[in-house]
Amino acid sequence: MTTGHSRPARAQNDLERSAVPRYLQLASLFRRRIETGTWPLHGQIPTVDELSAECGVARATIRQALGLLESEGLISRYRAKGTFVDKRPQDLLWLEVKTDWEGLLTRRDDVRIEILSDHGGEKPSLIPHPIGELTESYRHLRRRHWREDAPILLADVFIDEEIASEIEERNFSELTALRLVANVKGLEIKDARQTLTIGAADIETAELMKLPLNAPIAHVQRSAVDSKGRIVLISNASYRGDIVRVDTQLRS
């Protein structure tokens, strides 16, 4: 049985320094061990007592962390037998955050978009990229993306109200944010930017995405400007951090 007891003091110190709840830190640590093969596929992992001693935390905290991995389908726990690895995180369906224009226009076929709220006459409180000027008013949609009955993305989308009036209503629950404006006839997107940062789920985000408080989140901000220098789109999105994957081609 592979115990994965390397550098226990360092792991314990890292847990103590972080403000993130320990069971979430441990779930991330254990998930990484599965991903790297330290805990091999179909192999038995250390016992709760062993992990408790290694990490310097209570057995209940270890059980909480393992419970998260079990809910993700990564491990199975059997009474009197132990806990075994069922699959690696990379075997799950990754959520790809595209970095190229064409990729950002494409929505996966297995994703469903739910509109949580829809209001006109608003303005975004934050301009993530200073590449243009705000227009008079925007249509503000809060959308939640689902895959396999699990929320994977929560986004606040602001579209210039004049542009939004040219978009078919059904498209707001079918197309990516950038595709919504890119499809508008006669509208030329002159510039578009994207910024990705890593953070933790606040109370509202955790509740809407059915995640633990402070679970890892990838925040992605997108902006698009037309040929007149008007900001026609701002999107502030939060992706589940445990399944985000970013691929970038460095050289062709």
**Domains observed in the chain:** 8-91 (1.10.10.10), 95-245 (3.40.1410.10)
Q: How confident is the model at residue 96 (pLDDT cuts 50, 70, 90)?
A: low
CB 20 within 8 A of CB 29: no
pTM above 0.85, yes or no: no
Q: How far is CA 16 from CA 4, 23, 57, in A?
A: 19, 12, 10
pLDDT classification of 212: cutoffs 50, 70, 90: confident
User: Mean of the per-residue pLDDT values for the chain?
Assistant: 85
Confidence of residue 1 (pLDDT cuts 50, 70, 90): very low
pLDDT at 172 over 90: yes
Lowest mean pLDDT among 97-101, 142-146, 208-212: 97-101
* Average pLDDT of span 50-67: 94
| b (16+ CB within 10 A) / e for 226-237 | beeebbbbbbbb
Q: What percent of the chain has pLDDT over 90?
A: 57
Please check the confidence at residue 175 and state whether its pLDDT lies above 50. yes
Q: pLDDT-based confidence at 2, cuts 50/70/90?
A: very low
3-state secondary structure of 144: strand
Q: Which of 21-35, 50-64, 161-175, 182-196 has the lowest mean pLDDT?
A: 21-35
Question: Alpha helices of 191-235 — where are they, by DSSP H?
Answer: 203-208
> Token digits for 81?
């037998």
Q: What is the mean pLDDT of residues 82-111?
A: 68
Task: Report, as an integer, the average pLDDT of 86-100.
Answer: 63
User: Is the separation of the CB atoms in 141 and 172 below 8 Å?
Assistant: yes
Band of residue 32 on the pLDDT scale cut at 50, 70, 90? confident
